[in-house]
A and B are shown apart, each in its own frame.
Chain A
Amino acid sequence: MSGSPVIRARSLNKVYGAQGAEVHALRDVSVDITGSTLTAIMGPSGSGKSTLMHLLAGLDRPTSGTVLYDDLELSSLSDRQLTSLRRNLIGFVFQAFNLVPTLTVLENVLLPFELGGTKPSGEHREWILERAAELGLMPLLERRPHQLSGGQQQRVAIARALAIRPRVIFADEPTGNLDSRTGVEVLAMLESATREQDQAVVLVTHDPAAAAWADRVLFISDGRIVHDVGRTDASTLSEMVLELGGAR
């Protein structure tokens, strides 16, 4: 089931703010993100879960510690190399504002290629269109994002993330703006990416129902990983969340 580590993070620390008013967003976090696995990162607001995602995705640099993609150490990369890494190895899906409003659905899906100045091969393009068809996007390819529902927009973002066949997909509260039924569809699509493409999917969420889809759930509290559990049902996850939040 679980593949080899795609990302290896070691002793990550992240400190914000000036001296005397430091905020420790992450304290000595080490974690492996493995392929073919849907990993959920849970935690209350301000716990450091977004910070961890930013560091793992190379969007921000740790105060200390290392993030390794295979043998590539992120902190040693230039902005240009990081950009290329994001373009070629990482897919992103977010809660909102995922798509470029001026481009059509198809152009949005093919955007990572356009940005790299490349074109997908004929076979690759065929494959992308198959994924788009699975996601129900075929009738929408010439539309623009504002003509789509929230769920449809999210599916376009997933198609774009899948298009480059990334090693890892980061999904930050991807169901946050969706009704529960559409949210379930989106989660199912992310899960199938781990099955069919052997990809690692990192799902950042505070919603236990979403995290219940994950093969592995990491709980973050006060900048530390406090629980690291396998597949767990939503009600157990909510109890764990409530416990962390200091509920009475």
Chain B
Amino acid sequence: MIRLTLRELQVAPAQHVATLIVTSLGALFATIVIEADRVLASQSAAGGFLAHGFVRLLLDVLGSVFLFVAIFVSCIVIANTFGIVMTARARRIALLRLLGAEGRVLRRGVMLEGAIVGAAGGLLGTAIGVAVVAALIPLLTASGTFVPTPSPLVTPLLVAPALIGIASTTGAAWFGSGRVSTVTPLEAVGAGQEPTRTELRRRRRPWLVRGCLSLGTAMLVAGVAIGSRTPLGLFIAAPGGAVSFLGFVLGADAFLPPVLQVVGRLFGGSAPASLSRGNALRHPQRSVRSAVSLVIGVTLVVMFAVAAACFSTEAGAVAATAGPQEAASDAAFVTLVLGVLGVLIGFSLAIAAVGLVNSLSLSVLQRRREIGLLRAIGLERRQVRLMVLFESLQITLTGSACGLVLGVLYGWAAALTALSSDHHIGGYFLPTVPLPLVVAVVVSSALLAVVASLAPTRRATAVPPVAALAVD
């Protein structure tokens, strides 16, 4: 079994490129959080940022939350990616099952693959992260943002990103390879079988979705309530947010198709538009899987943007009432934190982008015969291109819309929890939604969709009409 796994990695490493990138990004993310926390701590000690006791606490809490979020995001995207890899490998898995491999054993092999890729990605990400921070510190010191103070980079904590990479990728590989146990040996037999038929047999777990949603929401509300006393409420609100979000992701099969349907109507009634709308409805799981990785990214971006905007607004109002020196120090600190947040936010979008390209490519690959058929009965190349583009846009706009709503809610909850206990602010407030940023997020995610659909579109338009006749 181990040989099969190693061979899979050796002969077809391309299938794990996405996972490697995501794991590296995750580890890079975690490394930068660890380093940023250390560097900012030594900076705030040396630069006198510690005017407010709660700022340092806030920084540590935010750092932990970021780390948590990074692991969470990469787990979901990696599990998705493994799901996609398993779908692409279904035929091979069926053959192995037919020849007498137990599903359990095959799944262990997939976990081993995950562990190996996770280790590689974890080490790569950690190395890049340390290098980036090491390069940034002299730059920031030179520009005057940082005060010159020794910032040791190597800490025992740095083992964490690599370990997290291994653990999360292995775990995500386990969740993502659930398909392995649904592949029947019979699928290896029928040469002309509809390749998507196993996709329809996915287990549905409504109780798990409902449980996650209610438990998560309850924890989130409790966290916000505790937040009015101490920012430590974040330690309840953050897992609560994650669990409720997990509920949303697990239940996306149920939540997203209606949204997809509504978004699909935006493109009008042309042949490519109605075809792509049909695709989204005929294979909802496939579209949902693509949309979810974007929902994750957009939710995070909007959440942080909204939380940061709330922080700026509320802390700014407070600063006006405080002394001018304190205000200037606060403003510099807020700018610094926002800069760091901006860097961290980039990762979630990058992770989502990897997931999207992956899904779209597979979607076209799996539909080769269908596209060939459409070409044979007279769909023009231009229309094929439009069809893929519409489908991609339908998915990304759905993802953005859901992400926006969720992101505003989570960001607001986070800001309330972190800030409402501050004696200067003292109380609840409405969310500050920074419109330019939201517009930028929507536009850039739409752009991302177009870019992500370039390669799949090229592949789709290259499908010859005779592909409709192919057996495999």
Residues of chain A whose beta carbon lies under 8 Å from any beta carbon of chain B? 50, 54, 59-60, 79-80, 83-84, 86-88, 92, 94-103, 107, 111-112, 114-117, 144, 160, 172
Contact = CB atoms under 8 A, between A and B. Distances in A.
21 contacts: A50-B190, A59-B184, A83-B100, A86-B100, A87-B100, A87-B101, A88-B100, A94-B189, A96-B191, A96-B471, A97-B472, A99-B95, A100-B95, A101-B92, A102-B10, A107-B3, A114-B1, A114-B4, A115-B1, A144-B11, A160-B99
B169 to A, nearest CB: 20
Contacts of B185: 59, 86
Interface in B85-135: 91-92, 95-103, 105
Contacts of B472: 96-97
Interface in B177-223: 184-186, 188-191
A115 B189 contact: no
Contacts, number: 77
B99 A117 contact: no
Nearest to A95: B191
Sorted from nearest, which 5 A-B pairs have the closest CB atoms?
A87-B100, A115-B101, A102-B11, A86-B100, A59-B186
Contact of A116 (B97, B100, B190): B100
A228 to B, nearest CB: 24
Contact of A92 (B4, B8, B98, B103): B98
A86 B188 contact: no
Nearest to A173: B191
Contacts of B103: 79
A54 B189 contact: yes
B188 A97 contact: yes
Contacts of B191: 94-97
B127 to A, nearest CB: 29
Contacts of A84: 100
A24 B333 CA distance: 75
Given A96-B191, A97-B472, A87 B99 contact: yes
A236 to B, nearest CB: 29
Given A50-B189, A96-B471, A102 B7 contact: yes
Contact of A103 (B1, B7, B98, B101): B7
Contacts of A92: 98-99
Nearest to A113: B100
Contacts of A97: 91, 95, 188, 191, 472
Nearest to B2: A114
Interface in B66-97: 91-92, 95-97
Given A115-B1, A115-B105, A102 B98 contact: no
A79 B106 CA distance: 14
Contacts of B95: 97-100
A59 B189 CA distance: 9
A96 B472 CA distance: 9
B435 interface: no
Given A87-B100, A102-B10, 4 more contacts: A50-B189, A84-B100, A86-B185, A160-B99
A86 B184 CA distance: 13
B12 interface: yes
A112 B11 contact: no
Given A83-B101, A102-B7, A115 B96 contact: yes
Contacts of B1: 114-115, 117
B99 A86 contact: yes
Nearest to B471: A96
A86 B186 CA distance: 12
Contacts of A99: 95
Q: Which of B11, B92, B185 has the most CB of A within 10 A?
A: B185
Nearest to B4: A114
B186 A102 contact: no
Nearest to B94: A97
A114 B3 contact: yes
Interface string B429-472: 00000000000000000000000000000000000000000011
A174 to B, nearest CB: 12
A172 B188 CA distance: 11
Q: Which of A79, A83, A99, A144 has the most CB of B within 10 A?
A: A83
A98 to B, nearest CB: 8
Nearest to A60: B186
Contacts of A59: 98, 184-186, 189
Q: Which of B3, B103, B189 has the most CB of A within 10 A?
A: B189
Contact of A94 (B96, B105, B188): B188
A50 B186 CA distance: 11
Contacts of A100: 4, 92, 95-96
A115 B92 CA distance: 13
A83 B4 contact: no
B7 A86 contact: no
A94 B188 CA distance: 9
Q: Which of A87, A99, A102, A111 has the most CB of B within 10 A?
A: A102
A143 to B, nearest CB: 13
A33 B105 CA distance: 31
B471 A112 contact: no
Nearest to B9: A102
Contacts of A94: 188-189, 191
B386 to A, nearest CB: 34
A162 to B, nearest CB: 13
A122 to B, nearest CB: 19
A223 B105 CA distance: 36
A123 to B, nearest CB: 22
A80 B97 CA distance: 10
